[in-house]
Structure 1
Amino acid sequence: MDADTAMDMEIGDGSSSYSSSKRLGIKNTIQTNFGDDYVFQIASSQEISTLAVSLSTNTIKLYSPATGQYFGECKGHSGTIHEISFSIPSSAHVICSCSSDGTVRAWDTRTFKQVSTLRAGSSQEVFSFSFGGSSGNLLAGGCNAQILFWDWRNGKQVACLEESHMDDVTQVRFIPEKQNKLISSSVDGLLCLFDTDGQIDDDNHLESVDYFVDCHYSKVDDRLWVIGGTGSGTLGYFPISHEPLGVIGSPEAILEGGHAGVVRTVLPASSSHGGLASAKGVFGWTGGEDGRLCCWLSDDSIGADRSWISSALIMKSQKARSRTRHHPY
């Protein structure tokens, strides 16, 4: 049996499975452009009969989904349009778009005019956006290693998360049934979950880590924590629950700003360490691949002079924190 015969038999076997498949025919074809450009995304609205198409010409064209009639186009972006969506609260005729030009723009599909612009910054790209929050007016945008938040009602930026991802944030989505929960994904391979109720900052998130360093058990409280870290040197104490057994919770303590690389060892200042724990307010000690030995203080002891780090480090400005957070000096 030669190769041609074998190929004929393979095609014949495959075609038998196609015969039972549902056949679909092309109803209509719309030529969106007459150059070398192409279609990026198609979006539609459940409330209005309009089909939106984003093109590589940095424009959005609008059509009738039933007849293919061309309505008009929205022009204004100076970079690649990464996402379009009819998702603005109480604005059925408005479509939103984000682009490599660092903007999120809103367009009125009846007039094809731009009605709003939010800017992420000259050096930022916006790859994805999503509306959510408790009021539905919180806009999240996935950018270059950052997640930005705006209040859609006044256009003001209300938060910036810059420590959760280390590469482009390509998708952000609020969970439909839990609008205060935001999920993000990035080129760094991490999938992160945020709670946007209350103050939005990186303190409210360390749901994903790159590695585990150690476990810590407290005899006094009869509690167990697993200690995980990120490649940038942030550590989190994740509680292990008894009911249900073995479930890892959100971090109860986050150690940030001391290390610039992988942390190899953690020594908690518990009663089992005798004299070491007698230093009031000391949370523990850490060491890592950056060659640093860090001593950590609890937030309520931040003014004490017993906290130190073994090498020079430029600290970030102190932020208001809603969760237990520890910093070296």
Structure 2
Amino acid sequence: MVIMGTTTVEFMFNQLSLAQKSSTSLDSVEEDYVLNISSQNGDGNYIAATSSDFSARLFSKDTLAVAGVVKGHTDVLSDICWGKSDINLLFTSSKDKTVRCWDTRMKLTKEVQSFKGSEECVNVYTCVDINLTDQVLCAGQEVDKDGNVFLHFWDRRQTEVLGAYSESHQDDITQVKFHPTQADKLISGSTDGLVCLYDISETCEDDALSYTFNSCSTVASIGWCGDRTDQVYCTTHIDTLHVWDTIEGDDLYENTDLKEILKDKNSIDYIVDLIVGEGDKYLVLAGKHNGEMRVIELSSSDKVSSVICNLSGGHKATIRCLYWNNKDKYLVTGAEDSLLCLWSACGNKLDTATSDGLKKAKMKNRKTVSKRSHPY
């Protein structure tokens, strides 16, 4: 999540054009969905993207050239994140019931650490994040056959479970996100419709749970936002949007009819994720199943929604994820067509190597574009 000025937002996004493309698969039989994108902090040069072929690929931020492939999981990767203080560390969660740590300075076919749950609660991991100090690792799970769902915590210096929360959610946990500047603050979202805020420095789950916010639908994505990063946002699988204040617990924004408001030439099929503006402005990236995208400005004061930018010509299928670089003003998107697209305000054209590589890929075009689903 990023913060930007509102006076030049529309101008800035209208400068974006397709600069680079890169494929996560050269398979001519079936495309691999791009499921998640995560970028190294600071001066790090890599973007990592997971795909439905059980791997993650590292791409150069500047050119989207493939720099390496992380292989080792035996099932689909459900989430990915970079270390906050050590940007060479990459963490992945998977349907194979493990969370793994990779060091990009070493061989990418063997993890440097592997984390599992305790014997009584070994289950599929659906999401992962690491805190500000890179010391506490957290991963969420699917609900098990007995109706239990766990948030697991590890001290990264050891692989045994440090502790677990099991009372806050009643269904699959879809995302966990640590606060970007406060190591003990964590939020989690679930298909039970709840977004929970914790202070993990407390000794038990009851004391750690600070707020429970209800989205009234299954939670798709969550994140921290606001001028002081003191707000939490949530998008849902029915494409509604919520923003809450984490100090007083107030509901700051709720939009339940974005698709209804935007019709005709500006119509959308789904929300990809949120990009946050200053003050009372929020920016949403929304899409159509044919690969078109729209940047939509929302106002919490009057809840007016307007399309400020249209992006097309990159993807041909449903967009799954995004990364926005506020410093250098570029956008990276990943989709079900197995493509990663870089949208830059510099107006760069596709370089020859990338363009030729895509032509040679000969990827199969779908006859119909699928609705968003969860392949993992």
Class of the TM-score when normalised by the shorter of the 2 chains: 0.5 to 0.7
Partner of 2:62: 66
Partner of 2:90: 95
* Superimposed CA distance per residue, residues 209-266 of structure 1 (whole angstroms, 9 cap, x where no aligned partner): 99xxxxxxxxxxxxxxxxxxxxxxxxxxxxxxxxxxxx89xxxxxxxxxxxxxxxxxx
State the distance in 2 between where 1:204 and 1:177 align. Answer: 18
User: What displacement does 1:116 show?
Assistant: 0.8
Task: Give the one of 20, 24, 37 matched to 1:32.
Answer: 24
State the distance in 2 between where 1:98 and 1:71 align. Answer: 21
State the distance in 2 between where 1:19 and 1:85 align. Answer: 31
User: What displacement does 1:26 show?
Assistant: 2.2
Partner of 2:138: 140
State the distance in 2 between where 1:132 and 1:39 align. Answer: 24
Task: Give the letter aligned to residue 194 of structure 2.
Answer: L
State the distance in 2 between where 1:21 and 1:137 align. Answer: 37
Confirm or deny: 8 A CA contact 2:116 2:122 kept in the other structure.
no
State the distance in 1 between where 2:23 and 2:212 align. Answer: 45
Task: Give the letter aligned to residue 147 of structure 1.
Answer: L
Q: Which runs of 5+ in 1 are unaligned?
A: 1-17, 211-246, 249-329
Classify 1:205/1:19 alpha carbon distance in 2 versus 1 (closer, same or farther; 3 Å): closer
Classify 1:78/1:49 alpha carbon distance in 2 versus 1 (closer, same or farther; 3 Å): same
State the distance in 1 between where 2:187 and 2:97 align. Answer: 21
Alignment of 1:180-259 (within 5 A): 180-202=184-206, 204-205=208-209, 207-208=211-212
* Superimposed CA distance per residue, residues 45-86 of structure 1 (whole angstroms, 9 cap, x where no aligned partner): 133212212111010112222233322211111222121111
Task: Give the one of 44, 50, 75 matched to 1:48.
Answer: 44
Partner of 1:119: 116
Partner of 2:310: none
State the distance in 1 between where 2:74 and 2:100 align. Answer: 12
Confirm or deny: 8 A CA contact 2:95 2:125 kept in the other structure.
yes
2:74 is equivalent to residue 78 of structure 1: yes
Task: Give the letter aligned to residue 96 of structure 2.
Answer: D
Confirm or deny: 8 A CA contact 2:91 2:129 kept in the other structure.
no
User: What displacement does 1:19 show?
Assistant: 12
State the distance in 2 between where 1:188 and 1:28 align. Answer: 38
Alignment of 1:144-183 (within 5 A): 144=142, 145-183=149-187
If the length of structure 2 is used for normalisation, what is the TM-score?
0.46
Classify 1:152/1:200 alpha carbon distance in 2 versus 1 (closer, same or farther; 3 Å): farther
Classify 1:58/1:199 alpha carbon distance in 2 versus 1 (closer, same or farther; 3 Å): same
Classify 1:161/1:33 alpha carbon distance in 2 versus 1 (closer, same or farther; 3 Å): same
State the distance in 1 between where 2:48 and 2:99 align. Answer: 16
User: What displacement does 1:155 show?
Assistant: 2.2
Confirm or deny: 8 A CA contact 1:56 1:80 kept in the other structure.
yes
State the distance in 2 between where 1:19 and 1:97 align. Answer: 36
Task: Give the letter aligned to residue 123 of structure 2.
Answer: Q
Task: Give the letter aligned to residue 85 of structure 1.
Answer: C
Larger Rg: 1
Q: Which runs of 5+ in 2 are unaligned?
A: 1-9, 143-148, 215-247, 250-376
Classify 1:161/1:32 alpha carbon distance in 2 versus 1 (closer, same or farther; 3 Å): same
Find the residue that maps to 1:66 and give its secondary structure.
coil
State the distance in 1 between where 2:155 and 2:84 align. Answer: 12
Task: Give the letter aligned to residue 84 of structure 1.
Answer: I
Find the residue that maps to 1:63 and give its secondary structure.
strand
Percent of residue pairs bearing the same amino acid type:
30
Classify 1:204/1:117 alpha carbon distance in 2 versus 1 (closer, same or farther; 3 Å): same
User: What displacement does 1:40 show?
Assistant: 1.2
Classify 1:95/1:21 alpha carbon distance in 2 versus 1 (closer, same or farther; 3 Å): closer
Task: Give the letter aligned to residue 125 of structure 1.
Answer: V
Confirm or deny: 8 A CA contact 1:129 1:171 kept in the other structure.
yes
* Superimposed CA distance per residue, residues 110-140 of structure 1 (whole angstroms, 9 cap, x where no aligned partner): 331311110136851212222238x651111
Task: Give the letter aligned to residue 43 of structure 1.
Answer: S
